[in-house]
Amino acid sequence: MQGDSLEILESFYIGGTKYIDMETAKPKNIDEYISAFPEEVQVILEQVRGTIKKAAPMAEETISYAMPAFRDSGGILVYFAAYKKHIGFYALPTGNEAFQKELSVYKSGKGSIQFPIDQPMPLDLITRIVGYRVQENLEKATKKKGSKNS
């Protein structure tokens, strides 16, 4: 995951214009992260962000590994990031495993998914993955709480 986040920070060029520079790209929040991209990429990032917020309204926005992330009481739910040709979505290995069949049409790794930037974002799939991660973190937090009361 960390290698991916550095890849984006090296540079993001469209039509010869440099949008992200490793020396200056240290976003303090998701708004700052998104504003560093061209308008057409900002629209996509805001769609992904809004979808995550709707699926996990209690989650808190943060920046982790130089990427936008959402966390709840059980920890990080998901990360996302923009790259030259795709939006990286990181549901951690468990999120990918649970949706293996649906994700098979996308390039993916153990905990990462690449949604091509030139295709509509699969917002319904993102919603279901985030819902799965919320439930997973809830169960994790409940187990943790239960073991403290034992």
At 107, list the tokens.
Answer: 């390039």
Length of the chain, please?
A: 150
At 144, list the tokens.
Answer: 């943790």
Q: What is the pLDDT of residues 49-105, one digit of tens each?
A: 999 999 999 999 999 999 999 999 889 999 999 999 999 999 988 888 889 999 999
**Architecture field, domain 2-149:** Alpha-Beta Complex (3.90)
Q: What is the pLDDT of residues 24-38, one digit of tens each?
A: 568 999 999 999 999
Q: What is the pLDDT of residues 102-129, one digit of tens each?
A: 999 999 988 899 999 999 999 999 999 9
List, as one string, the DSSP characters of 69-108. Answer: EEEETTEEEEEEEE-SSEEEEE-HHHHHHHTHHHHTTSEE
Contact 81, 4 (CB under 8 A): yes
